[in-house]
A and B are shown apart, each in its own frame.
Chain A
Amino acid sequence: MKQFTVISGKGGTGKTTIAAALATISDSHVLADCDVDAADLHLILDPTVDKSEEFHGGKTACINTEKCTQCDECIKRCRFDAIQNYTVDAISCEGCGVCVHACPQGAISMQRHVSGQWFISHTRAGYMVHAKLGIAEENSGKLVTLVRQQAKLIAEKEHKHYVIIDGPPGIGCPVIAAITGVDLLLAVTEPTLSGIHDLERVVGVAQHFNVPVMVCVNKYDINPLNASKIEEFCGKNGMEIAGKIPYDKNVTKAMVNKKSVIEYPCGAVTEEVTRVWGKMSQRLKNL
Chain B
Amino acid sequence: MVISIASGKGGTGKTTIATSLALSLGEVQFLDCDVEEPNAYIFLKPHLTKRISVGIPVPKVDELKCTFCRKCAEVCEFNAIVVIKKKVLIFPELCHGCGGCSYICPEKAIKEVERSIGVIEKGTSGKIDFVHGVLNVGEPMAPPLIRQVKQCITNKYKSVIIDASPGTSCPVVEAVKGSDFCLLVTEPTPFGLNDLTLAVEMLKKLTIPCGVVINCADIGDDEVPKYCEREGIPILMTIPWDRRIAAAYSTGIPLVEAFPEYRNRFSQLYENILERVR
Residues of A whose CB lies within 8 Å of any CB of B are 8-13, 16, 35-38, 40, 43, 58-59, 77, 79-80, 91-92, 94-98, 101-102, 110, 133, 135-138, 140-141, 168-176, 190-195, 197-198, 201, 204-205, 208-209, 219, 222-223, 226, 247, 249, 252, 255-256, 258
Contacts and interface: CB of A to CB of B under 8 A. Distances in A.
B171 A96 contact: no
Contacts of A252: 189, 219-220
A14 to B, nearest CB: 8
24 contacts: A11-B10, A11-B12, A16-B191, A36-B169, A38-B10, A91-B177, A94-B96, A96-B78, A98-B100, A98-B103, A101-B75, A101-B100, A110-B77, A136-B168, A138-B169, A141-B140, A171-B135, A175-B36, A193-B42, A194-B37, A197-B37, A201-B36, A201-B37, A222-B246
Interface secondary structure of A, over-half rule: loop
A37, A58, A192 pick with most chain B CB within 10 angstroms? A37
Interface of B: 7-12, 15, 34, 36-37, 39, 42, 75, 77-78, 96-100, 103-104, 135, 137-142, 165-173, 177, 189-191, 194-195, 198, 201-202, 205-206, 219-221, 243, 246-247, 249-252
Given A133-B169, A135-B198, A135-B201, A79 B220 contact: no
B69 to A, nearest CB: 14
Interface secondary structure of B, over-half rule: loop
Contact of A173 (B100, B137, B141): B141
B140, B171, B177 pick with most chain A CB within 10 angstroms? B140
A84 to B, nearest CB: 13
Given A141-B140, A198-B37, A258 B190 contact: yes
Contacts of B173: 91, 136
Given A38-B167, A136-B173, A256 B220 contact: yes
B191 A209 contact: no
A249 B218 CA distance: 11
Contacts of A226: 250-251
Contact of A136 (B142, B190, B202): B202
Nearest to A221: B243
Contacts of A79: 97-99
B11 A10 contact: yes
Contact of B98 (A38, A59, A98, A168): A98
Contacts of A191: 250
A170 B100 contact: no
A82 to B, nearest CB: 11
A193 B169 contact: no
A91 B249 CA distance: 35
A222 B247 contact: yes
Given A97-B75, A256-B189, 17 more contacts: A11-B37, A12-B12, A35-B167, A43-B191, A97-B100, A102-B103, A110-B77, A138-B169, A170-B165, A172-B135, A173-B142, A193-B39, A193-B252, A201-B137, A204-B137, A204-B138, A222-B250
